Amino acid sequence: MNWIHSSRAVVLGVLLAVALLTAGTVGAVQIAGFDDAPDSAEVGEEVSVEVELTDLYGDNVPDDEWTLTGDSELGGADWTVIVRDAGGDEVDRVDPVNESFEVGIDRDANHVTVDISVTGDIPEIDEFDYEDPEVEEILAMELAQLTADGDRATLADGTYYIHAYTEESREARTAIDDAHEAAEDADSDSARDDVDDAITFYNNGEFESAANTANSAQESVESSQQTRQLLIFGGAAVVVVGLLVGVIYYWRESQKPTSKLQ
Amino acid sequence: MKLAMIGFGQAGGKIVDKFLEYDARTGSGIVQAAIAVNTARADLMGLQNVPQESRVLIGQARVKGHGVGADNELGAEITEEDIDEVQGAIDNVPVHEIDAFLIVAGLGGGTGSGGSPVLAKHLKRIYTEPVYGLGVLPGSDEGGIYTLNAARSFQTFVREVDNLLVFDNDAWRKTGESVEGGYAEINDEIVRRFGVMFGAGEVGLGDDVAESVVDSSEIINTLAGGGVSTVGYDAETVEEYNSGGLLSRFKSNNKDDMQTANTTNRITSLVRKAALGRLTLPCEIEGAERALLVVSGPPEHLNRKGIERGRKWLEEQTGSMEVRGGDYPVHEPNVAAAVLLSGVHNVPRIKELQQVAIEAQENIDEIQKESEENLESLVEDNEDELDPLF
Ligand SMILES: Nc1nc2c(ncn2[C@@H]2O[C@H](COP(=O)(O)OP(=O)(O)O)[C@@H](O)[C@H]2O)c(=O)[nH]1
Ligand SMILES: [Mg+2]
């Protein structure tokens, strides 16, 4: 097979894959708005996700009449669902009380777009994973088509997750990020071990220990880098450093009460 | 930048008193004039640094120096009546030498809560200098009336000032500490954060060739446009090495490079910790309209690259196109990042405050109605056979 043949085969393959993909999911419904929703939020915080659905009768929602359903893991999820006609006027509205809603979509009833919003609190998360932040995600909105036999066919791109954190988990994560960077920059194995320990603490939900371990890893890298440099100066320098440290210490002590920053 | 500070009420007076102490101790030169206003004589007497002649007791005719309790409507009324007495103290301020006014008050009490919006309105009418507020929100355990006061004062204060900087006692409360001891630490935190922020525009170190020093106009521009602001802060101790000192003899290029990398990393990490750590008013930083980053420390521990990286990161996090940044050289072995986020919108704490305030208001109305009914049923005879005297 020469080059032209093989590249043509690749193109064909890709086209086929795309065709299969689009046919395989309930997909032509267009969903806009997830871009504006928060990526992450603190546990207990109230968040809202709002989207607009258009192209309600695309190829793969086969019927002119179907049932749209939505789910959310947000605490006390409060949905507002408004169905509009081509002019943007409200034709139908559902105010469900529960975590989910169902609404009939009907071409003959002039249903053209749907505005959906859900507001609720980020629930407690019971599992943390530093390396796999998806574990810390909350399903904020999942939109699906309810098929005749009661199955749910999730709409393509109709699912939105929010990364949940607590103040402590976020602080610990930042500390680990920083320590990880410092350990890699310095190429220090002992600091890497400390970072691993910090991650273990983190994954166990012991955020204070995680942050402390990460911070001390970072500090040890920074100070060991300095020490390594200083050693190059040789034995005599040690005396100088001793002196210097003394001077700095004395200076710092004498300066202490005038600090603007600490 | 040079400020005329007016501490209104007890909390306001104590915080301005602390600013004076910080100024004297560190030589940062931000307090050009300090005034304390109160309806309670005892609170004015408790101050240590505000000059006697700058302590203004108002409302003597109404409350005889005993304060207004937690009645902020009375605080506002008295301030309106006695505004000339406050103005009398401000007349002694060399206003052409200041960059702005800063009115400081606890919003949950009576005097400062009610009086500071009135004073802000007055100052804005008379002067062209910007008038900023520094409002302290009550702890959520302080009770409904404080929350109600704070919610009403907040709303009015934001409207009257050019920008309201907010500090939330609730976010900084430490459990198991005496209230007074707790405030001492909280007030230190307030003064340090806002001190570094405002001090940045006031560099007096002629010998330091700073890379890009923050000046007053950048602070003013960040606060322009109004709304609510919050400050993030983080600091780290460093070893100060003098460029002409002992170590320079052993300097090599390699070492220079490494120091530069360290300096840059330290700054970016401090910026992140400042913005993502506890803010004076906790909120979602995304959506802040403007921001100012001040990186402070010894000149050899500051570099443009770090500040620029931090600034870029803030731009990404806030989504704001208006993020300013600069340095503030100081001579002490600490490096700090202070982040001023101005025009923040997503503040769950304010929504919660308003909700609790509405509930408190309803409770109060109900109790009042009940007690009126009770009094009526006590005083009036059942069959209505008695006639009043007149
Ligand atoms: N941060 C801080 N807050 C205070 C201090 N003293 C009182 N407060 C707060 O201010 C509110 C009371 O206001 P206060 O200034 O005492 O009332 P006023 O004297 O009537 O204006 C309470 O909600 C407290 O949370 C203080 O020293 N520091
Ligand atoms: Mg008081």
- Of B294, B296, B306, the residue nearest B333 (C-alpha): B296
Mutate to test the pocket of ligand 1, among B43, B136, B280 (most ligand atoms within 8 A of CB): B136
B245 and B334 within one domain: yes
Prediction pTM value: 0.62
Residue A15: its pLDDT value, please? 46
B106 and B8 within one domain: yes
> Whole-angstrom Cα distance, residue A144 to residue A153?
5
Contact B334 A262 (CB under 8 A): yes
Q: Per the domain annotation, does B133 fall within a domain?
A: yes
pLDDT (average), residues B126-155: 94
**What six digits make up the tokens of A61?**
């929602």
Q: Does residue A77 contact residue A93 with C-beta atoms inside 8 Å?
A: no
Boundary (domain end) residue, out of B342, B362, B381: B342
Give the tens place of pLDDT for each residue, A239-262: 777 888 888 888 776 665 678 888
**What six digits make up the tokens of B136?**
């302290």
Q: Is the pLDDT of residue B95 over 90?
A: yes
- Quote the percentage of chain A above a pLDDT of 70: 80
**What six digits make up the tokens of A177?**
């990020």
**What six digits make up the tokens of A122?**
């980020």
With bands split at pLDDT 50, 70 and 90, how would you rate the model's confidence at A228? Answer: low
Residue A94: its pLDDT value, please? 86
The minimum CA-CA distance between A226 and chain B, rounded to whole Å, is: 9
pLDDT (average), residues B81-107: 96
Q: Is the pLDDT of residue A4 over 90?
A: no
Q: Which amino acid is it at B351?
A: K
pLDDT (average), residues B252-281: 81
**What six digits make up the tokens of A167?**
């103040």
Q: In this structure, what CATH number is given to the domain that contains residue B290?
A: 3.30.1330.20
> Whole-angstrom Cα distance, residue A33 to residue A35?
5
Q: Per the domain annotation, does B309 fall within a domain?
A: yes
B254 and B194 within one domain: no
Chain B neighbors of A45, CB-CB under 8 A: 348
B289 and B195 within one domain: no
B52 and B146 within one domain: yes
Q: Of residues B252 and B380, which shows the higher confidence score?
A: B380
Q: Are strands A137-146 and A65-71 parallel, antiparallel or unpaired?
A: antiparallel
Sign for the pseudo-dihedral over CA of B306, B310, B313, B315: negative
Q: Per the domain annotation, does B367 fall within a domain?
A: no
> Whole-angstrom Cα distance, residue B238 to residue B224?
34
B236 and B179 within one domain: no
CA distances from A215 to A190, A198, A218, A223, A244 (A): 13, 9, 5, 12, 25
pLDDT (average), residues B197-218: 73
> Whole-angstrom Cα distance, residue A223 to residue B237?
12
Sign for the pseudo-dihedral over CA of A85, A88, A90, A96: positive
Domain residue limits at B314:
229-342
> Whole-angstrom Cα distance, residue A132 to residue B274?
25
Q: Per the domain annotation, does B273 fall within a domain?
A: yes
B111 and B151 within one domain: yes
B241 and B110 within one domain: no
B259 and B133 within one domain: no
Q: Does B205 touch chain A (CB under 8 A)?
A: no
Q: Is the pLDDT of residue B67 over 70?
A: yes
The strand order across the sheet containing A75-84 reads A30-32, A46-54, A113-121, A75-84, A90-94
| A244 vs B22, B247, B261: nearest CB | B247
Mean pLDDT lowest for which of A181-190, B92-101, B235-244, B351-360? B235-244
Residue A256: its pLDDT value, please? 56
Q: Of residues B312 and A153, which shows the higher confidence score?
A: B312
User: Residue holding tokens 């005599």?
Assistant: A236
User: What's the structural domain count of chain B?
Assistant: 2
Query: Could you tell me which residues come within 8 angstroms of residue B170 by beta carbon, excluding any fewer than 6 positions away?
Result: B137, B138, B139, B140, B349
Q: Of residues A63 and A213, which shows the higher confidence score?
A: A213
> Whole-angstrom Cα distance, residue A74 to residue B121?
43
Q: Per the domain annotation, does B218 fall within a domain?
A: no
Residue A229: its pLDDT value, please? 67
User: Can you tell me the ipTM of this complex?
Assistant: 0.71
B95 and B186 within one domain: yes
B155 and B233 within one domain: no
pLDDT (average), residues A130-157: 87
Q: Per the domain annotation, does B349 fall within a domain?
A: no
Average pLDDT, chain A: 82
B127 and B20 within one domain: yes
With bands split at pLDDT 50, 70 and 90, how would you rate the model's confidence at B368? Answer: confident
Q: Per the domain annotation, does B368 fall within a domain?
A: no
How many Cα atoms within 13 Å fall on the side-chain side of residue B41?
A: 7
Give the tens place of pLDDT for each residue, B155-177: 999 999 999 999 999 998 876 56
Residue A27: its pLDDT value, please? 44
Residue A17: its pLDDT value, please? 45
Give the tens place of pLDDT for each residue, B285-295: 999 999 999 99
**Domain boundaries, given as residue ranges, for chain A:** 25-165, 169-255
> Whole-angstrom Cα distance, residue B56 to residue B6?
10
Chain A neighbors of B28, CB-CB under 8 A: 260
- Quote the percentage of chain B above a pLDDT of 90: 70
| B246 vs A45, A170, A244: nearest CB | A244
Task: Give me the CATH topology for the region A25-165.
Answer: Immunoglobulin-like (2.60.40)
| A174 vs B28, B240, B276: nearest CB | B276
Q: Per the domain annotation, does B183 fall within a domain?
A: yes
Chain A neighbors of B258, CB-CB under 8 A: 225, 229
- Of A206, A210, A162, the residue nearest A42 (C-alpha): A162
Q: Is the pLDDT of residue B254 over 90?
A: no
For chain B, the three-class secondary structure string (H helix, E strand, C coil) is CCEEEEEEHHHHHHHHHHHHHHHHHHCCCCEEEEEEEECEHHHHHCCCCCCHHHEEECCHHHHCCECCCCCHHHHHHHHHHCHHHHHHHHCCCCHHHCCEEEEEEECCCCHHHHHHHHHHHHHHHHCCCCEEEEEEECCHHHCHHHHHHHHHHHHHHHHHCCEEEEEEHHHHCCCCCCHHHHHHHHHHHHHHHHHHHHHHHHCCCCCCCCCCECCHHHHHHHHCCCCEEEEEEEEEECCCCCCCCCHHHHCCHHHHHHHHHHHHHHHHHHHHHHHHCCCCCCCCCCCCCEEEEEEEECHHHCCHHHHHHHHHHHHHHHCCCEEEEEEEECCCCEEEEEEEEECCCCCHHHHHHHHHHHHHHHHHHHHHHHHHHHHHHHHCCCCCCCCCCC
